Homo-oligomer: A and B are copies of this chain.
Amino acid sequence: MARAAKQAKNSVADKREAILRAGVKVFAAKGFFNSKVADVAKEAGVADGTVYLYFKGKDDILHSIFDRAMAEFIADGRRELERSDDPADQLAKIADVHLSRLGADRSLAVVFQIELRGSTKFMEAFSAAAFAEYLEIIRKTIESGQKSGVFRSDVKPIIAAKMFYGALDEMVTNWILSKKPYPLEPLAGEVVKVFLGGLKA
């Protein structure tokens, strides 16, 4: 590829990227339905019409934000998972990736926790499959722990997986809504401790 062409292609990618980033920021700040396409365009430093050269419409921006982030998220999780055989360890890794990724980008976290759920339509159409995949990773990890005997077997793995996910999810939601800023990632250890050991003395 010639240098010039590559340059051009980069600038195209950059503009798309800028709009996506602006979308995250604006949607997080005002909510998807309260955000105007013009707001996103302005934040991205492009004209209103330009948005439509890169996205089908407002919905498509949200959709794209989700697709990209979720793909990274799952890839990250899988990579970490392969670096250990111990299911307890693997759950700790999942918790860590979950909280550190979302903890690193508050706006993205807001879009994920609040905006993506704000409509059953989006939940059903976009997030359902990817979310199911994520839950499945947790479930399998728990199941393998049960097979190897490190986890108790009188618990349905799918229930435990939902609980684990729910606990992590709640940490993130609380972190977002909290007035006082604090680091999210360190909570991973505590969550895993309680989840594995239980609350009983």
Contacts and interface: CB of A to CB of B under 8 A. Distances in A.
A121 interface: yes
Contacts of A171: 159, 162-163, 166
A194 B150 CA distance: 15
A115 to B, nearest CB: 7
B191 A200 contact: no
Contact of A191 (B159, B177, B187, B194): B159
Contact of A121 (B31, B121, B177): B31
A116 to B, nearest CB: 9
Nearest to A175: B162
Given A33-B118, A171-B162, A197 B194 contact: no
Interface residues of A, number: 52
Q: Count the copies.
A: 2
Contacts of A169: 166, 169-170
A82 B199 CA distance: 21
Summarize A's interface: helix, strand, loop or mixed.
Answer: helix
A162 B155 contact: no
Contacts of A151: 199-201
Nearest to A28: B120
A129 to B, nearest CB: 12
A22 to B, nearest CB: 18
